[in-house]
DNA sequence: CGAAAATGGAACACGGATGTTCTAATACGG
DNA sequence: CCGTATTAGAACATCCGTGTTCCATTTTCG
């Protein structure tokens, strides 16, 4: 239990860690609902003073960058959980889709906030993106995925259908699981080998 | 040629009509590239003074409303051109998709700028939206369109795939016709009766 | 050509978001 | 419990987009 000086340069007090999370979570909610919301809005949603937000993220761009890093990490974890190497490609794609769907608002941000795709460490191609494309290509090689369409295009199709499912749930009030199963149904047909 | 007093309350000088169009067109380009661009940006892109923009559209919201009306009108025309009542539903859907694709940036705005869906005369359901849903339902009745999926969902699928095709062309540099044919290919499979 | 229409540009007032600094109050952890 | 870490809130300077007004200049059109 001799854990006196655990602190390294990158370690944070437990309280600080909690507040930081609160701010990041609130930022996801607020910004995904309305891009260009003010930092005051984020602060309020986080139940925190506006100055406190600035104490953790000096500039707005710092907050955005942190959000980017956060979603990136979760994307990575989701990709691992989906065990993309196991079994036939279509099944793996469905698992991946399911995991991604769970990320909800966080991924919406990735689409909606333009700064993310170019900014914040997303250098055009995320690791997860590459994994997804490779998975599709594996399916095409297996003959279980449509070979008439470009792998990159099919990747975009997957993202788009996910986005559509979220929209369906958010704006039309469709239950999440209903939207998800519609999404998977259509995705299965769209990716199927012709 | 006794056309002296053609002018009614709603008629515009030819010059004014041209500048108005220039501003609207520039606004589409600029705003679809970067939401929240300043009116100065729009003015510059239109090759026009910032004051002139305000002379035509007093407030920002007026410009947005005008853009909304514009895209709405074009959507209407595109729907007419597609002759949705003719022939089997899947074919009609493809024609519709093709017409919509031509609207390009203008429709991108409809997705990206949140103010449009609630604001600017879009009362939740556009006429064109209703036409689309009815067309899908007709296909389901004919047995030529997937009946396992909700018509509303399939409508969203169509929009999403269109959006994906645009993205593919804009961000990945895929030629427009290539993106379009990929889109149609996938859409055909996605909508097909199971 | 000459009057009316249309424009460009400068200048200004205004509001809202941002980022900074300070101080008093509060929560935390040993 | 007490000292320290953490916070809230007010106050302030600043920047940027917006919307308005005014005037000189250019363009259009009869």
Task: Report the mean per-residue pLDDT for chain B.
Answer: 90
Residue appearing with tokens 């103010």: B115
Is B163 in contact with A168 (Cβ distance < 8 A)? Answer: no
DSSP label at B144? S
The pLDDT-based confidence of A4 (bands split at 50, 70, 90) is very low
Decide if A194 and B194 are in contact by the 8 Å CB cutoff.
no
Residue found under tokens 């890093």 = A69
What average pLDDT does this structure show over B140-144? 97
Query: Measured between CB atoms, does B34 come within 8 Å of chain A?
Result: yes
Per the CB < 8 A criterion, the answer to whether B97 and B82 are in contact is no
Contact indicator for A182, A168 with CB cutoff of 8 Å: yes
pLDDT in tens, B30-72: 999 999 999 999 999 999 999 999 999 999 999 999 999 999 9
Residue-wise pLDDT tens digits, A17-39? 999 999 999 999 999 999 999 99
Contact B114 A190 (CB under 8 A): no
Q: Residue A1 half-sphere exposure, CB side, CA atoms within 13 Å?
A: 0
On whether the CB atoms of residues A133 and A89 are closer than 8 A, the answer is no
Q: How far is the CA of A18 from the C1' of D2 (A)?
A: 24
Label residue A143 left, alpha or beta by phi (over 0 means left) and psi (-120 to 50 means alpha): left
Q: Higher model confidence: residue A15 or residue B9?
A: A15
Under an 8 A CB cutoff, do B189 and A189 touch? yes
pLDDT higher than 70, residue B172:
yes
Decide: residue B173, CB within 10 A, 0-12 exposed, 13-18 middle, 19+ buried.
Answer: exposed
Q: Is A156 exposed, middle or buried (0-12, 13-18, 19+ CB in 10 A)?
A: buried
CB-contacts to strand D (7 A): A 12-13, 15-16, 19, 47-52, 55; B 13-15, 38-40, 50-51, 54, 58-61
Assess whether pLDDT exceeds 90 at residue A116: no
Residue A51 CA, nucleotide D6 C1', distance (Å) = 12
B19 touches strand C (CB under 7 A): yes
At residue A194 the predicted structure's pLDDT band, cuts being 50, 70 and 90, is: confident
Contacts of B60 (CB under 8 A, 6+ apart): B39
> Would you call B85 an interface residue with chain A, using a CB distance cutoff of 8 Å?
no
Residues 6 or more apart whose Cβ sits within 8 Å of residue B75: B100, B103, B107, B126, B128
With contact defined as beta carbons under 8 Å apart, do A54 and A39 qualify?
yes
The predicted structure's pLDDT at residue A10:
61
The integer distance in angstroms from the CA atom of A5 to the C1' atom of C30 is: 14
Provide CB contacts within 8 A for B64, sequence distance 6+: B113, B115, B116, B119, B120
Q: Is B192 helix (H, G, I), strand (E, B) or coil?
A: strand
Distance between CA B71 and CA B128 in Å, rounded?
11
Average pLDDT over chain A, rounded to whole?
90
Whether the CA torsion B155, B158, B161, B166 is positive or negative: it is negative
Q: Is A35 an 8 Å CB contact of chain B?
A: yes
């Amino acid at each position: 239990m001799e854990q006196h000086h655990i602190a390294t340069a990158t370690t944070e007090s437990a309280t600080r860690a909690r507040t930081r999370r609160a701010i990041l979570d609130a930022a996801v909610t607020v910004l995904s609902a309305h891009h260009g919301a003010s930092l005051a809005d984020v602060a309020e949603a986080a139940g925190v003073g506006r100055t406190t937000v600035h104490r953790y993220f000096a500039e707005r761009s710092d907050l955005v960058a942190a959000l980017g890093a956060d979603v990136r990490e979760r994307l990575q974890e989701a990709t691992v959980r989906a065990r993309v190497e196991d079994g036939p490609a279509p099944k793996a794609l469905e698992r991946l889709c399911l995991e991604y769907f769970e990320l909800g608002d966080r991924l919406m941000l990735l689409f909606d906030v333009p700064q993310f795709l170019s900014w914040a460490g997303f250098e055009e191609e995320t690791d997860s993106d590459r994994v997804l494309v490779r998975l599709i290509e594996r399916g095409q090689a297996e003959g279980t995925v449509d070979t008439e369409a470009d792998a990159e295009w099919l990747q975009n199709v997957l993202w788009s259908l996910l986005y559509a499912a979220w929209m369906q749930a958010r704006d039309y009030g469709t239950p999440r699981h209903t939207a998800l199963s519609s999404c998977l149904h259509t995705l299965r047909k769209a990716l199927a080998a012709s």
